Homo-oligomer: A and B are copies of this chain.
């Protein structure tokens, strides 16, 4: 595995994750090269991230039609470490790496059920105002939820 800029020590990095969401590779997610198409881990990242946000109570707020804020992806990246194939079971882990004033930096790790890392990722989510499109600071209550994510480690 070549150097991945957002991972300092692979062992401690791997151990720092607690929350995961399970997925199984769909046939329609493969491509003619016979493996998982490279665009699909981002679908898994989104699904795992939303499950994480639901677990800490944030997603419910954002999907209310009355909500004045929505989360948007400011940037996201994926490092492909092992080829993934049809019907494989994966665990897609998510953790909060850093909390900014209106943004949050998340790390992602996809592993087999046996714990072998197949892809990793990171990305920034920003909370914006639906009406203005401008970034909107986290409330103290939300910051609290994000900082206490260790409470939600048992899946």
Contacts and interface: CB of A to CB of B under 8 A. Distances in A.
A26 interface: yes
A38 B28 CA distance: 8
Interface string A37-80: 11100110011001000100000000100000010111111111
B83 A73 contact: no
Contacts of A112: none
Interface residues of A, number: 35
A47 B29 CA distance: 10
Contact of A78 (B26, B35, B77): B77
Contacts of A37: 27-28, 46
Contact of A31 (B28, B42, B78, B80): B28
Interface in A1-25: 2, 4
22 contacts: A26-B43, A27-B47, A27-B50, A28-B46, A31-B32, A32-B32, A32-B63, A32-B86, A33-B72, A37-B46, A38-B42, A38-B46, A42-B42, A50-B87, A63-B87, A72-B80, A73-B80, A74-B79, A74-B80, A76-B78, A77-B77, A83-B133
Interface of A: 2, 4, 26-28, 30-35, 37-39, 42-43, 46-47, 50, 54, 63, 70, 72-80, 83, 86-87, 133
